[in-house]
Structure 1
Amino acid sequence: MLNRVILIGRLTRDPELRYTPAGVAVTQFTLAVDRSFSGNREEREADFIPIVTWRQLAETCANYLRKGRLAAVEGRIQVRNYENNEGRRVYVTEVIADNVRFLESPNREGGGQGRDDAYGSAPAASAGGGYGGGGGSSNRSGSGSRSSGGNNNDPFADDGRPIDISDDDLPF
């Protein structure tokens, strides 16, 4: 049996970070995902899908995600139920995320600048390890500065230079 979901959409509001009585972080947010349609091309429809993240991933999402940001979420669908104040059974369907990729840089200024594609260098967070967007600086070939005309903070940019890696550094 398989229960896996991958969604790409925009946050409808800032994530809400809370803590359980045991001190476990939990964040909830809603992702607006465009719906495929075949009718009038002027009308766009979207599904609004509730997302839940836990622990370090919850704190990372609360710190880095904001309303309107494009994000990819990977997780599983969960259906839970509870009895409300009127004694009625309420069913809730949500995605429990174990991996979130931030598909836009936080400093995007209108016009889509700073947008990364799904395979680019956008930061990611996962339930297994927290923030995975890299960090630190890397000086690969001895020349200390990179001046490519802008404020390039991508630690993985190679500027066309070869990368020196010894066989001891490879995991295979």
Structure 2
Amino acid sequence: MKTPKEIQLATLTFLRAFKDQKASELEGTFIPFDPVFLYKQYQVYLGGTILFTVLFLFLLYNAWFIDAIYYWHIDFPVILGFLVIGFFLVVSIVLANKTIKTNREIQFVLKNPNKAPYGVLITEEYYFENAPNAHHIIPRENIIKIDYEELNPNNEIYLELLLDTGNHYEVRGITYKAEEYDLKSWIKATNS
């Protein structure tokens, strides 16, 4: 059974490899994620950018050309109006930057799928999944058994694994495609 320190060291090694885009160079099987989630993220950022930019321009136009007559006297409503307009400007700039960054990530992943920043790396000892919002590591030695198995309609298999973490037992779920990697035989190699 792997100790928490060994797991932590492996996690740092794998995270560094994904950050440096060298996950495919490690010994093991690298399965890059489909960039569909990046497209969805891009659409959300682009929609937010358009919405907040239109609201900013609308408020700016109304403040400058329609309500400017009231600005001869600076008081709280005028300051509040400037703050709201400034807020919409800042949010639209931040969303525009995220849109550009996500577009660059999509272009990079399409040109170099083996250097994708997100995916699954299966080595002889570990299953490591790096997603945009989290990462998961499962040491093969710590898997006690497959607790539950389900076949999804789009030919994906969902497994729930019972893990021994040393202090307590834990259940983790994994979804994978059987044609990409035979994860069940990788798990059973430990238990046999």
Same fold (TM over 0.5): no
Q: Which structure has the greater CA radius of gyration? A: 2
Q: Which has the higher contact order (CA 8 A, sep 6+)?
A: 2
Q: If the length of structure 1 is used for normalisation, what is the TM-score? A: 0.21
Which structure carries more strand by proportion? 1
Higher helix share: 2
